[in-house]
Amino acid sequence: MRYQSFLIKYAEIGTKGKNRYLFEDALIRQIRIALKRAEGDFLVSKESGRIYVQAVSDYDYDEVIAALKKVFGIAWICPVVQLEQKDFETVKRALVEYVGEVYPDRHFTFKVECRRADKTYPIHSEDMNRELGAEILTAYPETSVDVHSPDVRLHVEVRKGVNIFSLMIPGPGGMPVGTNGKAMLLLSGGIDSPVAGYMIAKRGVKIDAVYFHAPPYTSERAKQKVIDLAKIVARYSGPIPLHIVNFTDIQLYIYEKCPHEELTIIMRRYMMKIAETIAASNDAKALITGESIGQVASQTVQSLATTNEVCTMPVFRPLIAFDKQEIVDIAEKIGTFETSILPYEDCCTIFVAKHPVIRPNRNHIRKSEQNLREKIDDMVSTAIEQAEVVWCEAE
């Protein structure tokens, strides 16, 4: 079957009522952006609460479905046959033809589900269901009707024209990016943080990211890996400005001045502080991390509390209660896993102590940080001023 159009059914409408159009317009915008990555020309339009994608040139079906499957806010993608002629004879013929093409194996049960949005249409839905059902049974005697749990639901909608569809391809759900503000993702080269970014973007949040590197202790390849991860997340979230912060001097200074078992926690506190400052100056209202309770020493409840106290912005930790395998499953699904497991060094791991504190005492940590007071504020300012921004777009 060669479809010219797709009916887009959207998921949850975050802002119902009067603001619904904002959600729809954002969804249309995101669909247009996503389709730029598929070959062909498309019209995306809204018509009485329905969104349609119409191909106006040749296109590749699989490519279009793949692109639409990455647009948050889409619940279902329905390849649809659109009839301009609405008379019932045309509808009958088109439906029989549709079934003939889409279901070459006719051993299935079906139900016709008509909807008459155009109330001036002369035949009532129930009558249409019955007559169209009979027509199919005559044309394809191997089929049978099951009104309770049919294999196939044949939808016939009478609107300005008539829509015929039965295939419903699941979209990613969520809400269109851009409907829920912006947050700053702390993106490392690991498995967790790209997944965390994906999950928050799925709720309609635009993402900026920050990556801390420590050259020459971390390599160009490690940095490139993070850029590559941002580009993969950008397939779903839209382009991500990645702020790359040189953390070397700060790390060395902490290493020199603070007890080694507290290094990771103190370092993480400075990461959060810097990320928050960069977030604030880029209009992001929250931070996102890939932390999960108990995964490593710096993610015990006490450690998380100690890291958290340096921030005033909300910190979103969508993976907080996930097991590693559950995170890996999502990473595989969204395509970040292969890149995440490339074995390049992370700036956190270079200076880690053999036995890091797992129940940090906040007063001790604050006291240790006093050892940094001479230079740390300047170092933080310099790191922020000199941050490099790389624009990461899906490829």
- How far apart are CB 233 and Mg ion at their closest, in Å? 15
Does position 300 interact with ligand ATP (CB under 6 A)? The reply is no
Among 193, 237, 336, 339, binds ligand ATP (CB under 6 A): 193
Binding segment for ligand ATP among 126-134, 152-160, 182-190, 355-363 (CB under 6 A)?
A: 182-190
Please give the structure tokens belonging to residue 374.
């001479």
- How far apart are CB 278 and ligand ATP at their closest, in Å? 11
Binding segment for ligand ATP among 32-40, 144-152, 188-196, 232-240 (CB under 6 A)?
A: 188-196
Q: What are phi and psi of 47, to 5 degrees?
A: -145, 115
Residue 229 contact, options Mg ion, ligand ATP, none, Cβ 5-8 Å cut-off depending on partner type: none
Closer to ligand ATP by CB, 81 or 230: give it.
230
Closer to ligand ATP by CB, 85 or 386: give it.
386
Closer to ligand ATP by CB, 3 or 212: give it.
212
- How far apart are CB 290 and Mg ion at their closest, in Å? 7
Does position 187 interact with ligand ATP (CB under 6 A)? The reply is yes
Closer to ligand ATP by CB, 192 or 208: give it.
192
Does position 150 interact with ligand ATP (CB under 6 A)? The reply is no
Does position 298 interact with ligand ATP (CB under 6 A)? The reply is yes
Does position 276 interact with ligand ATP (CB under 6 A)? The reply is no
- Interactions with ligand ATP, residue window 326-385 (CB under 6 A): 346-348
Closer to ligand ATP by CB, 186 or 227: give it.
186
Residues that bind Mg ion (CB under 5 A): 188, 190, 346
CA distance 28 to 356: 49
- How far apart are CB 297 and ligand ATP at their closest, in Å? 8
Number of residues that bind ligand ATP (CB under 6 A): 20
Closest C-alpha to 275, from 184, 190, 372, 214: 184
CA 142 to chain centre: 42
- Interactions with ligand ATP, residue window 67-96 (CB under 6 A): none
- How far apart are CB 274 and ligand ATP at their closest, in Å? 10
- How far apart are CB 284 and ligand ATP at their closest, in Å? 14
The residue of the chain with the least Cβ separation from Mg ion equals 190
Closer to Mg ion by CB, 186 or 365: give it.
186
Largest Cα–Cα distance in the chain?
88
The residue of the chain with the least Cβ separation from ligand ATP equals 190
Does position 290 interact with ligand ATP (CB under 6 A)? The reply is yes
339 touches 195 (CB < 8 A): no
Cβ atoms within 10 Å, residue 53 = 26
- Interactions with ligand ATP, residue window 210-249 (CB under 6 A): 210-212
Does position 295 interact with ligand ATP (CB under 6 A)? The reply is yes
Contact positions vs ligand ATP (CB under 6 A) = 186-188, 190-193, 210-212, 289-291, 295-296, 298-299, 346-348
